[in-house]
């Protein structure tokens, strides 16, 4: 069967089970868009290529399957660099196809030419420039294999127009031939034995669960390990949902804005069981002062992560799920575990949880200023209150998506995650504008789930145009803008570290008019200015299932994210909410 390169590409994507492509056509990718008309693959036409990339990421994070984006050459390809970098940092499987000028024009500064493989070299797990149509099925198979196995990540296929227009004899390869790529799978039994011995000897152990739990689908076996050993769990920003927050041994999120107990448990631990986590600087704080008394068992599928930041006592190069399964089996062989050994440690953690919960001032006075002012000011709307209310009014398996900044931290702190793959965010790269397109992608992947995005006003303005995509494609996402009229996280740093010299952070609550903007894109737009309006607005939004909804929550501009470990400081120097006074981790021991 003779096919054009373009037909072979689309057929190869079908063979890989692709159900949706997020993309935007242009000159160099035109040949591929013709066979897309005849393909069962759904194509979602975005308004900006960055949107295509983030949608593919949201799709991948919500489903665990690779997301696919398609863009044209030059600016189309450069616009997708940010999502590729984002997916690379967060190990999200993504396959991006970019058009390229004809092979004869490459290197001549042709119209819409860019060195796409060169530009994306450092932000992809691998990339290809296809120069022969006969290579297409092989390259597509390799691309999906590499994107989804080992440590997952984004890949890019650069596809010149003349290759798309030339012909090839169709075939589908039996497998891949990649002599330099053998992702690890099973753990070394000796390392598992060594890890089990440390687990059974520890008195203050903590499981430090990372995004690798979700990538390897290890949530269930993690729970088995916890129930077997009685060891408490912290879930990093990338692992929220990997272990249910309602579990009595869940300590929540550690790190710069983690809760006091999660942060301090790691500082005081005698054993850290790092499972698919990478000792990110936002988790460790000052590395030399991080968890000083802890022995470390580090399970990771990426050899380069083991010992990169902290040298483990036991390094286990393996798929996280397989390693945890082996560890559970090894520990079971020792017979019943006496959890009472950990009782003093758990009691300490409970005391910290009672004394230093994540909190905010729920009873902000209705009127600031003196009683005689007479002005009837409405009570301030706290962003944390919005998230707590949203959580209470939505199903437990709701997918929560967020942008980057204060709202992201509040979302992670105040949302109770019960299921894996219900939290979609930009962790490593910290890409503002992630939420709207990622929510759209998540909803496309999981149309059965309610999908809410919690976004900031700064973030929303970066990618809001994709709500036109959502309306046109009937993708009913719901967006809660926590509109504090500022680039809030930057403002918080200027407040704390730059003597309240606020430089270029004010955005205005009314410019743009978020309700008007939402409605112009076919969404329902709502505005909420006081606490008592929150519940009715969310209830109304939850009932709308035929179009996107945007709620403009006018929240308190002054609110800050606590706890906080200042950048570069030790986790022992955690700053808690002001009403909790100062914490003295040493005194609490």
**Binding site residues, other proteins, CB under 8 A:** 117-118, 121-122, 125-126, 129, 146, 178-181, 188, 190-191, 302-304, 306-308, 314-317
Give burial (CB, 10 Å; 0-12/13-18/19+) of 193.
middle
**What does the alpha-carbon distance between residue 125 and residue 12 come to, in Å, rounded to a whole number?**
20
489 carries an active-site annotation: yes
In whole angstroms, give the CA distance from residue 582 to residue 421.
36
- Asked whether the beta carbons of 177 and 141 are under 8 A apart, the reply is no
198-213 burial code (b ≥16 CB/10 A, e <16)? bbeebebbbbbbbbbb
- For 454-492, the DSSP string reads EEEHHHHHHHTTHHHHHHHTT---EEEEEE-SB-HHHHH
Phi, psi of 337 (to 5 degrees): -95, 135
- In angstroms, give the least distance from the CB of 163 to other proteins: 14
- What three-state secondary structure class fits 249? coil
Nearer to other proteins, 126 or 527 (CB): 126
Of the residues 16, 22, 49, 450, only one is catalytic, namely 49
Q: How many residues does the chain have?
A: 589
Write down the least CB distance from residue 317 to other proteins, Å. Answer: 6
Asked whether the beta carbons of 365 and 531 are under 8 A apart, the reply is no
Nearest CA to 509 out of 478, 538, 488, 540 is that of 488
Question: Cβ of residue 139: shortest distance to other proteins, in angstroms?
Answer: 12
How many Cα atoms within 13 Å fall on the side-chain side of residue 479?
A: 38
The answer to whether 466 is a known catalytic residue is: no
What's the angle, vertex CA 213, arms to CA 209 and CA 218, rounded to 5? 120
Provide, for the chain, the percentages of residues in helix, strand and coil under a 3-state DSSP scheme, each rounded to the nearest 5: 40, 15, 40
d(CA 289, CA 520): 52
Closest distance of CB 484 from other proteins, Å? 36
In angstroms, give the least distance from the CB of 158 to other proteins: 11
Determine whether 1 is an active site residue. no
Catalytically annotated residue among 15, 19, 112, 529? 112
Residue whose CB is less far from other proteins, 300 or 457: 300
Instruction: Write down the catalytic residue from 125, 161, 215, 478.
Output: 161
What is the Cα–Cα distance from 239 to 231, expressed in whole angstroms? Answer: 17
How many CB atoms sit inside 10 A of residue 106's CB? Answer: 17
CB-nearer residue toward other proteins: 317 or 538: 317
| φ and ψ at residue 325, rounded to 5 degrees | -55, -45
Q: Please classify residue 365 by burial: count the beta carbons closer than 10 Å to its beta carbon, then call 0-12 exposed, 13-18 middle and 19+ buried.
A: exposed
161 is catalytic: yes
Tell me which of 489, 494, 560, 562 is the catalytic residue: 489
Look at phi and psi of residue 228 and say left if phi exceeds 0, alpha if psi is from -120 to 50, else beta: alpha
First-to-last alpha carbon distance for the chain, in angstroms, is 73
User: Is residue 112 annotated as a catalytic residue, yes or no?
Assistant: yes
Please list, in sequence order, all residues whose beta carbon lies within 8 angstroms of the beta carbon of residue 381, skipping any fewer than 6 positions away: 528, 529, 530, 531, 534, 553, 554, 555, 556
- Residue 539 CA to residue 558 CA, distance in Å, equals 27
Burial label, 362 (beta-carbon count in 10 A; 0-12, 13-18, 19+): exposed
Find the DSSP H helices in 333-434: 343-355, 383-393, 406-414
Residues acting as catalytic residues:
49, 111-112, 161, 489
């Amino acid at each position: 069967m003779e096919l054009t390169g373009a037909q072979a590409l689309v057929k190869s994507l079908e063979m890989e089970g692709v159900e949706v492509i997020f993309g935007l056509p242009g000159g160099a990718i035109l040949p591929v868009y013709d066979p897309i008309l005849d393909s069962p693959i759904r194509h979602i036409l975005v308004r900006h290529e960055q949107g295509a990339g983030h949608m593919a990421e949201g799709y991948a994070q919500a489903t665990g399957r690779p997301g696919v984006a398609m863009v044209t050459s030059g600016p189309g390809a450069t616009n997708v660099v940010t999502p590729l970098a984002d997916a690379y940092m967060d190990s999200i499987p993504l396959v991006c196809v970019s058009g390229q000028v004809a092979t004869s024009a490459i290197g001549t500064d042709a119209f819409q030419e860019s060195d796409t493989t060169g530009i994306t070299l450092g932000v992809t797990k691998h990339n290809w420039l296809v120069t022969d149509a006969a290579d297409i099925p092989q390259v597509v198979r390799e691309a999906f294999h590499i994107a989804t196995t080992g440590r997952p990540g984004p890949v890019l296929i650069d596809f010149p127009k003349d290759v798309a227009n030339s012909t090839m004899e169709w075939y589908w390869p039996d497998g891949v031939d990649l002599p330099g790529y053998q992702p690890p799978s099973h753990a070394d039994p000796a390392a598992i034995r060594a890890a089990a011995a440390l687990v059974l000897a520890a008195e203050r152990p903590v499981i430090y669960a990372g995004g690798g739990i979700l990538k390897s689908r290890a949530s269930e076996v993690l729970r088995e390990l916890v129930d077997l050993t009685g060891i408490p769990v912290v879930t990093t920003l990338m692992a929220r949902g990997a272990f249910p927050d309602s579990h009595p041994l869940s300590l929540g999120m550690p790190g710069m804005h983690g809760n006091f107990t999660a942060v301090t448990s790691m500082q005081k631990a005698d054993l850290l069981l790092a499972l698919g986590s990478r000792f990110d600087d936002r988790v460790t704080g000052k590395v030399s002062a991080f968890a000083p008394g802890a022995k470390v068992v580090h399970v990771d599928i990426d050899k380069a992560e083991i010992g990169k930041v902290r040298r483990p006592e036991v390094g286990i190069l393996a798929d996280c799920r397989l390693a945890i399964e082996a560890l559970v089996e090894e520990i079971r062989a020792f017979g019943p575990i006496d959890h009472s050994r950990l009782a003093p440690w758990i009691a300490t953690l409970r005391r910290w949880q009672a004394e230093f919960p994540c909190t905010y001032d729920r009873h902000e006075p209705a009127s600031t200023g003196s009683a005689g002012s007479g002005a009837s000011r409405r009570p301030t709307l706290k962003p944390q209150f919005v998230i707590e209310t949203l959580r209470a009014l939505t199903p437990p398996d709701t997918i929560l998506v967020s942008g980057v900044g204060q709202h992201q931290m509040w979302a992670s702190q105040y949302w109770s995650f019960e299921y894996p793959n219900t939290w979609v965010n930009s962790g490593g790269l910290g890409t503002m504008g992630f939420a709207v397109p990622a929510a759209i992608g998540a909803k496309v992947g999981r149309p059965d789930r309610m999908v809410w995005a919690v976004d900031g006003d700064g973030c929303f303005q970066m990618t809001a145009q994709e709500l036109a995509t959502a309306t046109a494609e009937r993708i009913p996402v719901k967006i809660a803008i926590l509109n504090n009229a500022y680039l809030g996280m930057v403002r918080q740093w200027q407040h704390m570290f730059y003597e309240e010299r606020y430089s270029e952070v004010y955005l205005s609550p009314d410019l743009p008019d978020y309700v008007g903007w939402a409605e112009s894109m076919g969404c329902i737009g709502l505005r909420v200015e006081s606490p008592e309006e929150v519940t009715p607005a969310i209830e109304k939004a939850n009932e709308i299932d035929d179009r996107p909804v945007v709620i403009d929550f006018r929240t308190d501009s002054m609110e800050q994210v606590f706890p906080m470990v200042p950048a570069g400081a030790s986790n022992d120097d955690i700053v808690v909410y002001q009403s909790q006074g100062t914490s003295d981790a040493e005194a609490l021991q």
